[in-house]
Amino acid sequence: MVKLETTAKSFHLLADPIRLKILCLLKKQEMCVADLCRELDLSQPKVSYHLKILLDADLIERRIVGTWSYYHLSTDLGDWLKNECEELLKEAAIN
């Protein structure tokens, strides 16, 4: 049951439309905060807040060049999503 709760928390991260938009943009190309702010029409603090959540969940990665940070999808994102879905279905079948 603990795994099911952990999986639910992970998917909750993806329930926010802003975070989903960020992931969609980063799927296309690596971007800096300024690029994301422009594309999303959001303030820098708001975008940074959502980036931190995605970083902490290991859904995205950051590459630092000088004073700039560039974000891209985690190389493990596809595997993570597949594993979480499989675990969720296993737990649901048991309960």
Q: Which of 11-15, 65-69, 89-93 has the highest mean pLDDT?
A: 65-69
Domain that holds residue 67: 2-94
List, for residues 38-72, the tens digit of each pLDDT value: 999 999 999 999 999 999 988 899 999 999 999 99
Provide the CATH number for the domain around residue 27: 1.10.10.10
Task: Please write down the HEC assignment for all residues of 9-78.
Answer: HHHHHCCCHHHHHHHHHHHHCCEEHHHHHHHHCCCHHHHHHHHHHHHHCCCEEEEEECCEEEEEECCCHH
Q: For residue 23, what are its two tokens?
A: 């992931």
Q: What pLDDT shows up at residue 95?
A: 57
pTM confidence score: 0.80
Percent of the chain surpassing pLDDT 90: 55
Number of domains in the chain: 1
